[in-house]
Structure 1
């Protein structure tokens, strides 16, 4: 059973698994706190199939710096780095 990381982490099992994979605490927490993240399981289409507006919204959720001035390709690169 996963350790309880308190109310700031919504999915403790997923959070711990992501940490074991080498993700930072911040990134693991963002993913573990995404609604239905464990149910989606990679079912989302690749970023190249997203519209620029969809990419921008995702970048906004992840608080990507400079997103308002980015092209679609730059948004994709930034989201993959995050």
Structure 2
């Protein structure tokens, strides 16, 4: 890893992938989840995984707020549906 980067910590299994994801603008939590999933299987398998949940556009505002609460997104109670969707997608 380059000297100017901080190491993500011992819980992250693939430091290189983690840093690449962070550089792309992903959150620390999301980057760590993806990096660890890739380290446990393979990067190709992680890309195929998922796609089982309906799109946020199909969720009700109440369900979006509930999910935002689970992720501890601040300001969720005053957000409108498009704002909630954006916050959830970029968490």
TM over 0.5: yes
d(CA) in 1 for partners of 2:73 and 2:19?
24
Higher Cα Rg, which structure: 2
Name structure 1 gaps, 5 residues minimum: 33-37
Deviation at 1:54, TM superposition (A): 0.8
Give the ranges of 4+ consecutive aligned residues of structure 1 lying more than 3 Å apart after TM superposition: 28-32
Name structure 2 gaps, 5 residues minimum: 1-9, 37-45
- Output the aligned Cα RMSD: 2.9
When normalised by structure 2's length, the TM-score is 0.52
When normalised by structure 1's length, the TM-score is 0.57
Residues paired across the two proteins, number: 65
